[in-house]
Amino acid sequence: MSSDRIGFIGLGNMGRPMATSLVTKGFAVTAYDIVQTSAQILAQRGAKAAASVSEVVAQSDVVVTMLPNTPDVDGIVAEVLRSGRKGQMHMDMSTIDPMASKRFAAALAAKGIGWVDAGVGRSPAHAERGESLFMVGGTDADLARAMPLLEAMGNKVIRCGGPGAGITMKIVLNFLAMSTCQLTAEALTLGTKLGLTARTMYDVITNSMGNNDHLKVYWPTKVLAGDIDPGFAIDLAYKDLSIGVTTANAAGVPVFTGAAARECLGQARTAQGLGGKDITAVLVAAANNAGVKPPKL
C-alpha cells in the first residue's frame, strides 16, 4: 500500500464508494465535497473531513477528483497550481474534455506536479464492491504511483497511453454506451407498441447478438423495475455524449448516430424534464413519444 496521503474531492454516487474503498483498505484520506454531509459520511467511515479544497491540497500528497464536468476540475487544478508543491500528484477520475485533461497535465508538469487521468467504467454498484474498471493515462512514474489506489478501488486497470489517453478512452466508451442506451430504449418501445412483452424482448435480446450489458445487468435494476432515481443521470449522459460529438467534430470524424442520440437525450432532459433521472429513463422518454406505457419486467 502507498504511504501517500490521499485527498479525495467529489463524493457523489461514484466518488463516495471509491473513497470508502481507500479508507477501508488503510489509506489516509482527507475528503471534501461541496455537500458537507457527504464528507461527514466519509469521516464516519474513517476519513478526515476537510472544510475546503485548499485544506485538501495542503494535507495531501495525491489529490483525487471525481467531479461532474470540466469547469469543476479546472477549479481544482487552479488551486493545485496555486498552492500545491513539487512532488504532488493529481489523479482525475472525472469525465471531462480530453483536450482539457492534456492541458491540465502540461500545466502541472511545469510545476513538478504529476497527473493521471483515470476514466471510470462500470456502475455505482461496482464501485460499492470495489470492482470499478479504470482507463488510465499518464507517465510511467505517475501511473506506478497511482496503481495502489486504483487497485484498491477497482479490479481492472487498462493503460491507454500518456496523459489524456485515459479520459479519451472514457469519452469513446461513453459515446458508445449512451448511444446504445438510446437505441435500446427505442427498440423496447417499438416492441411494446407492436404487442411484445418486456420479458420476451429481454430474454431474446440478452441471449442474442443484440445484447449489451446496460440492458442485461443494469436496466432490470432501474427502469425495467420502475426505478428511475439517478445512478447516472441523463444530464451527465448528455454532457458525456456532447463531449464525444464535439471531440469527433474537431477531429473531422462524422458521427451521425451519436449526434442523433445526443439530440434524443437533449429532448428527454428538456422537453420531458427527465434530466435529473437515471440514464435508463430514456425508455420513459421513448415510450412517451410513442404514446405507450414504459415496459417493465
Q: Please give the Cα distance from 84 to 61 (Å, whole number).
A: 9
* Burial of residue 226, with CB atoms counted within 10 A of its CB: 0-12 exposed, 13-18 middle, 19 or more buried: exposed
Q: What is the DSSP letter of 47?
A: P
Catalytic residue among 170, 222, 239, 277: 170
Q: What is the DSSP letter of 218?
A: I
Which amino acid, one-letter code, is at 109?
A: A
Strand residues in the chain grouped as ranges (E): 6-9, 29-32, 48-49, 62-65, 89-92, 114-121, 132-137, 154-161
- What are the grid coordinates assigned to 210, written together? 443484440
Burial 142-164 (b: 16+ CB within 10 A, else e): bbebbbbbbbbbbeebebbebbb
**Whether 239 is catalytic:** no
CB distance 223 to 281 below 8 Å: yes
Q: Output the nine-digit C-alpha cell for 88.
A: 504532488
Can you tell me which residue has the cell 429513463?
281
135 within 8 A of 168, measured Cβ to Cβ: no
Torsion, Cα of 143, 149, 154, 157 (10° steps): 10
The catalytic site residues sit at: 170
